[in-house]
């Protein structure tokens, strides 16, 4: 039985993403094929979403609305009714 060292890409059972563990080659192959892990020392095949420079993480365009001024600071001033 050969042990294969894998690094988890997603949570699986008691293992969290980013943890490294050793498994029998058949179990490791199943984890790798299902996308839960990659063989340790090999680059990740993970296709994550990259956020361009000025994009918002939610994917919604920023309309400048809300209670923020041009510098992005939240306006904590009370309104006419005394509520912030």
pLDDT 10s digits, 1-39: 799 999 999 999 999 999 999 999 999 999 999 999 999
Q: What pTM, to 2 d.p., does this model score?
A: 0.52
Region of 83 on the Ramachandran plot (φ > 0 left; ψ -120 to 50 alpha; else beta): beta
pLDDT for residue 54 is more than 70:
no
What number is the average pLDDT over the span 51-73? Answer: 54
How many other C-beta atoms are found inside a 10 Å radius of the C-beta of residue 21?
Answer: 17
Where do the structural domains in the chain lie, given as residue ranges? Answer: 3-39
Residue 51: per-residue pLDDT: 43
Residue 69: per-residue pLDDT: 55
**Tokens encoding 12:** 């699986």
């Amino acid at each position: 039985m050969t042990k294969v060292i894998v690094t988890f890409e997603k949570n699986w059972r008691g293992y969290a993403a980013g943890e490294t563990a050793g498994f029998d080659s058949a179990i490791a192959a199943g984890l790798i094929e299902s996308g839960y892990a990659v063989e340790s020392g090999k680059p990740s095949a993970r296709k994550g979403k990259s956020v361009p420079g000025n994009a918002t993480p939610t994917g919604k365009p920023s309309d400048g609305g809300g209670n923020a001024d041009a510098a992005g600071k939240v306006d904590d001033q009370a309104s006419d009714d005394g509520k912030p």
